[in-house]
C-alpha cells in the first residue's frame, strides 16, 4: 500500500498548490480538513469547493472558488471482478439496461464512465459513498459535457449536475462535476 499512500499524498499536494496559486499564498499555508463523511474542505475559504482523486499513478485535484466541485478518475485496464454484480449495486435500472445492451467489450469502459460521473457528483456534494450510487443517474454516458441528476431526489442537493469527461489521460477516464447551473472551464 505504499504506492496508494504516495498517490494520496501527491493528490493533496497538487490541491494545496492549486489553492495556493489561487489564494496568493504558499502551499504549506493551505489547510485541508475533512467533514464527518470524509469530504475535503478548505476551512480558510468556506465558499470554495475542492475535490481530489487518485489511481494507478494518476492524481487529479479540482478547485472552484465559489461552489461545489467533484472529480473522479479510474484506470480503464484495471480488472473488475464481477462487473455484473457491481453494475447491479451501482447503477439505476435504466443504466443497467443500457449497459446490458452494449457489446461485452464496451461494458467495462462505459461502466467506468458512469461510475466516475456518479462518484464526482457525490464528492461534489460532500457525501461520497455514504449515499447509494443508484441515487444518481448519468445521462449521455460518453458525451462531454454530459449530465447527471438525482434518480431518487435528495432535499437540499442540486438536482442536476454537468459532467465534463476527460479522455486525454492514457488508459484512464476522469470526470469533473459541477451543479448544472454552473459552467465548466478546463485549464
**CATH number, position 105:** 3.90.470.20
SS3 category, 56: coil
Lowest mean per-residue pLDDT among 10-19, 114-123, 142-151:
142-151
Grid cell for residue 173: 477516464
Q: Report the chain's mean pLDDT, rounded to a whole number.
A: 87
Residue 174 has pLDDT above 90, yes or no: yes
- Tens digits of residue pLDDT in 23-33: 999 999 999 99
* Separation of alpha carbons 150 and 137, rounded Å: 6
Q: Which residue did the predictor score with more confidence, 146 or 13?
A: 13
Please count the structural domains in the chain: 1
Grid cell for residue 105: 467489450
Residue 184 has pLDDT above 60, yes or no: no
* Residue 80 and residue 86 in contact, taking contact as beta carbons nearer than 8 Å: yes
Q: What is the bridge-based pairing of β-strands 146-150 and 160-166?
A: antiparallel
pLDDT, residue 157, reads 61
Residue 164 DSSP code: E
Q: Once rounded to an integer, what is the mean pLDDT over residues 26-43?
A: 94
- Tens digits of residue pLDDT in 77-114: 988 889 999 999 999 999 999 999 999 889 999 999 99
User: Whole domain around residue 30: which residue ranges?
Assistant: 1-187
Q: Cα–Cα–Cα angle for 66, 69, 74, nearest 5°?
A: 160
Give φ, ψ of 26 to 5 degrees.
-95, 145
Amino acid at each position: 500500500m505504499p504506492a496508494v499512500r504516495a498517490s494520496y499524498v501527491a493528490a493533496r499536494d497538487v490541491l494545496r498548490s492549486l489553492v495556493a496559486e489561487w489564494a496568493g499564498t504558499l502551499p504549506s499555508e493551505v489547510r485541508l480538513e475533512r467533514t464527518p463523511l470524509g469530504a475535503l474542505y478548505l476551512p480558510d475559504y468556506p465558499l470554495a469547493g475542492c475535490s481530489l482523486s487518485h489511481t494507478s499513478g494518476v492524481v487529479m485535484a479540482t478547485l472552484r472558488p465559489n461552489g461545489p466541485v467533484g472529480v473522479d478518475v479510474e484506470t480503464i485496464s484495471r480488472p473488475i471482478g464481477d462487473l455484473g454484480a457491481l453494475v447491479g449495486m451501482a447503477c439505476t435500472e435504466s443504466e443497467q439496461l443500457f449497459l446490458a445492451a452494449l457489446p461485452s467489450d464496451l461494458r467495462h469502459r462505459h461502466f467506468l464512465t458512469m461510475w466516475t460521473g456518479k462518484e464526482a457528483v457525490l464528492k461534489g456534494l460532500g457525501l461520497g459513498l455514504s449515499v447509494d450510487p443508484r441515487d444518481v443517474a448519468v445521462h449521455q454516458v460518453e458525451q462531454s459535457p454530459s449530465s447527471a441528476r438525482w434518480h431518487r431526489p435528495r432535499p437540499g442537493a442540486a438536482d442536476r449536475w454537468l459532467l465534463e469527461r476527460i479522455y486525454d489521460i492514457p488508459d484512464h477516464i476522469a470526470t469533473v462535476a459541477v451543479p448544472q447551473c454552473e459552467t465548466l472551464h478546463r485549464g
